[in-house]
Structure 1
Amino acid sequence: MDNIKSQKANILVVDDIPDNLRFLSKTLTEQGYKVRCVQNGARALKAAQLEPPDLVLLDIKMPKMDGYEVCQQLKASQQTQEIPIIFLSALDDVTNKVKAFEVGGVDYITKPFQHEEVLARVHAHLTLRDQQIQLEKQNAELIKLNEQLKQEMARREQAENTLQVADAKLFSMLSEQEAKRWGISGFIGKSQSIIKVLDEIRRLQDVEKTNVLILGESGTGKELIARALHFGGVRAKGPFMPVNCSAIPDELAESHFFGHVRGAFTGATGDRKGYFELANGGTLFLDEIGDMPKRLQAKLLRTLEDGTLMPVGGHQEKKVNVRIIAATNANLPAKIAASEFRDDLYFRLASYIIDMPPLRERQEDIPLLAKHLLSAFAEEMGRPQVTLTAEALATLENYPFPGNIRELKNLIEHALISSGGAQIQPQHFHFIEQAPVDSVQQPNPAVETISPPNATNVDPAVSQIGPPDQTLSDEENILVYVREHGRINNTQCRLLLGLDRDRCSRLLTKMNKEGKLVREGERRGIYYRIAT
């Protein structure tokens, strides 16, 4: 017997026969129950209202008000309707027992009473009542937790809405003219990769000094990320100084970055501030950082480490407060391995890395980008809005876009003009790519027009690329291909060997350093031919 429960249980016993009351009272009290006894229905109802019991033992046959009516009134009251009621009766008729359950009874005890039966049934229903109360409490807790969850979901939804507004405002700090100028369309999309980039930009905007390295192919929008970080961040009121490291003459690089004093060299007719001083208090954006001259890398590292610089020809150091955002489409680890880029500079620049995916890896964004660009160019040209046919959209979605969003812009602009205001068809696109040309037959390579994806007249040098000869090494397969076609670029190397972009880049760079191949062209037009 559960004495802990019994000590807390309050039982109301209702019977018009004193001997029955004495027996039940003695039996239950000995087990630790708190027992109250009344001899009629009216007193039972009053006692239950004054102090609701945990269990009622109720005689059926009583004068004036029988047990059925007492039970019905207890069940009609909100205060007592949940109290379990066990009927007491000497009646063995099935009809009476059924009626007892119909009016709300949970059990019955037959007279004359049996000691063990009374205790067993009382204990069983008190246990059930206790479990019911616990379930009700748990249910109330669940309802409370569910309400809290709803409130939390509402807060999160509000936060998401706020986040969307923040995303919308992410670039609104730039003027509408600036947004168009810097290719804001590059951030239109719903792909997980773009959502991730936006999240990283948002996080970095609140950080003042952390240097950022932006990786990505040409045309993916690296400078736009840099501008968003600056104009949407704590340094927005400071200058934004973009520098293309590949466009600075080696002999003038130091002067351009650190400035010079009058007379420092021939032609230095006055003091001149360098990029670092011009960006003081703001952001210095170093585009194509992988092309920075090795000699300049050491001096750049020193300025990044201690925030000071020495102008060319100067004798007094200057203090600068500049955040560096660098970008490159080069494989910096490969350049480090080839001793073309300092590893200490890399680690100084790469405090945080943002990897901007190529357009071919975010195909779900192409329809949104195309629609946005069509609308923008139509407005700019004063033309009516046009749409793409399903075939035209499929053509774009299946195209690898080596030039990424920059190339998509060119395609859309050309197609809008070519269509003459009609719906854009696949033939309105002008796909261009550096075509591999035999160096002996055509020594002056040109950019040739190629057909869109899925067309039949693809450039033969590309369409004839098959699986490599398994008996040859990767380098030997490359040399065989170059002997047949005159040259090879990274795209053709990937198609030939089935390797990724970085692996092919390292392989071609290695063969170039070993003198097996000669590198020619610049940036997207880079190709390799047999060394002569």
Structure 2
Amino acid sequence: MVVSSLVSTHREGEDVVLLVDDDPSNLALLERALRGRGYRLVSCQAGAEALELARRERPTLVLLDVVMPAMDGYEVCSRLKADEQTRDCAVVFLSALDEADHKVRGLELGAVDYLAKPFDREEVITRVQTHVTVQRLQRQLQRRTRELERELRVAQQLVADQRDRHEGPLLGGSAPARALRESVAAAAESEEPVLLLSPAGAGEEAAARAIHHQSPRGERPFLRVDCLSVEAADTPLFASEGASKWGLARGGTIYLDRVEVLAESLQQELARRLVE
């Protein structure tokens, strides 16, 4: 068994076009048509060499002759599409064989197009430009998809971390945890205001959110207000009804964190609103 490795010479963002034809005059014609158009051109005259070059150069597009000695274009295309390193390159067959069954066979093997011999220079230029552009857009889409998948995984982890922090006091099978879950379920069935009493940092907000989500109001807003930031009755808590947090939470739940620090006048305003 012979094991060999190829060092890729492909540079990020570079469009390589691989030209494969056993006729040197056809290669020369293609090179003249495509030279100076922003592609790096690589060429060869045999199928086995084409496979080696494709693994090393990672071409965007392969212009591939169908009829070649030793290994024809169909076999080369089949091997390109079977190799993880080369399967993404676009293959355009070059052939004087104009029968439909030849074209169908090539497309079934993964080719994207056919160019008929003898070549028309303008057609070669246009077809190559079209397929290179399509490949560029596919690469951009794949790159953006990977970025979005990564961002989604990060967001899911942040949500999971946040949930764990909030729901920590409600988890577990201990007697206190079970008792807390029972209290949450009972409070969720009530329309009355709920006063949560616990040491600071013991999970009051987790309990408040659990009550909200288990209640008929679960699909409505849950708004948290830090009462340390509430200094007057015209703050966002009690501002004009439509713009206030009190108004935005209507039909849902408003969680007043550290309600004991509210000034007496604000506590009176809160009591008035609770009995409305």
Q: Considering the TM-score relative to the shorter chain, is it more than 0.5?
A: yes
Q: Is the 8 A contact 2:65 2:93 kept in 1?
A: yes
Superposition pairs for residues 132-151 of structure 1, below 5 Å?
Answer: 132-151=138-157
CA distance in 2, matches of 1:193, 1:350: 25
RMSD, aligned CA: 3.4
CA distance in 1, matches of 2:118, 2:189: 79
Output the amino acid matched with 1:24. L
Deviations 1:456-491 (A, max 9, x none): xxxxxxxxxxxxxxxxxxxxxxxxxxxxxxxxxxxx
Residue 37 of structure 2 corresponds to residue 67 of structure 1: no
CA distance in 1, matches of 2:56, 2:271: 74
Q: Indicate which of 315, 340, 349 corresponds to 2:264.
A: 349
1:106 shift after superposition? 0.5
1:164 shift after superposition? 3.6
CA distance in 2, matches of 1:32, 1:133: 17
Q: Indicate which of 81, 85, 90 corresponds to 1:79.
A: 85
Q: Matched residue of 2:187: which SS?
A: coil
Residue 44 of structure 2 corresponds to residue 38 of structure 1: yes
Aligned CA distance change for structure 1 residues 348 and 21 (closer, same or farther; 3 Å): closer
1:101 shift after superposition? 0.5
Q: What's 2:236 paired with?
A: none
1:156 shift after superposition? 2.9
Q: Kindly tell me the number of residue pairs found equivalent between the two proteins.
A: 198
Q: What's 1:106 paired with?
A: 112
Q: What's 1:190 paired with?
A: 188
Q: Indicate which of 155, 170, 187 corresponds to 2:161.
A: 155
Aligned CA distance change for structure 1 residues 348 and 190 (closer, same or farther; 3 Å): closer
Q: Is the 8 A contact 2:16 2:57 kept in 1?
A: no
CA distance in 2, matches of 1:186, 1:350: 30
CA distance in 1, matches of 2:195, 2:134: 58
CA distance in 1, matches of 2:96, 2:32: 20
Q: What's 2:98 paired with?
A: 92
CA distance in 2, matches of 1:119, 1:101: 21
Q: Matched residue of 1:24: which SS?
A: helix
CA distance in 1, matches of 2:190, 2:94: 71
CA distance in 1, matches of 2:99, 2:157: 56
Q: What's 2:135 paired with?
A: 129
Aligned CA distance change for structure 1 residues 41 and 186 (closer, same or farther; 3 Å): closer
TM-score, normalized by length of structure 2? 0.62
Q: What's 2:20 paired with?
A: 14
Q: Is the 8 A contact 2:187 2:194 kept in 1?
A: no
Unaligned runs of 5+ in 1: 1-6, 173-184, 207-324, 327-346, 359-500, 503-532
Q: Is the 8 A contact 1:55 1:84 kept in 2?
A: yes
1:127 shift after superposition? 1.1
Unaligned runs of 5+ in 2: 1-12, 202-259
Aligned CA distance change for structure 1 residues 187 and 105 (closer, same or farther; 3 Å): closer
1:349 shift after superposition? 2.0
Deviations 1:352-373 (A, max 9, x none): 5654998xxxxxxxxxxxxxxx
Q: Is the 8 A contact 1:187 1:194 kept in 2?
A: no
1:23 shift after superposition? 1.0
Deviations 1:324-361 (A, max 9, x none): x69xxxxxxxxxxxxxxxxxxxx952455654998xxx
1:197 shift after superposition? 4.3
Counting aligned pairs with the same residue, the percent is: 36
TM-score, normalized by length of structure 1? 0.34
Output the amino acid matched with 2:30. L
1:146 shift after superposition? 2.4
Q: What's 1:475 paired with?
A: none
CA distance in 1, matches of 2:168, 2:200: 16
1:147 shift after superposition? 1.6
Superposition pairs for residues 73-472 of structure 1, below 5 Å?
Answer: 73-162=79-168, 164=170, 188-190=186-188, 197-198=195-196, 205=200, 348-350=263-265, 355=271
Q: What's 1:56 paired with?
A: 62
CA distance in 2, matches of 1:155, 1:86: 50
Aligned CA distance change for structure 1 residues 123 and 150 (closer, same or farther; 3 Å): same
1:115 shift after superposition? 1.2
Superposition pairs for residues 496-507 of structure 1, below 5 Å?
Answer: none
Deviations 1:121-151 (A, max 9, x none): 1111111111111111122122212222321
Q: Matched residue of 2:146: which SS?
A: helix
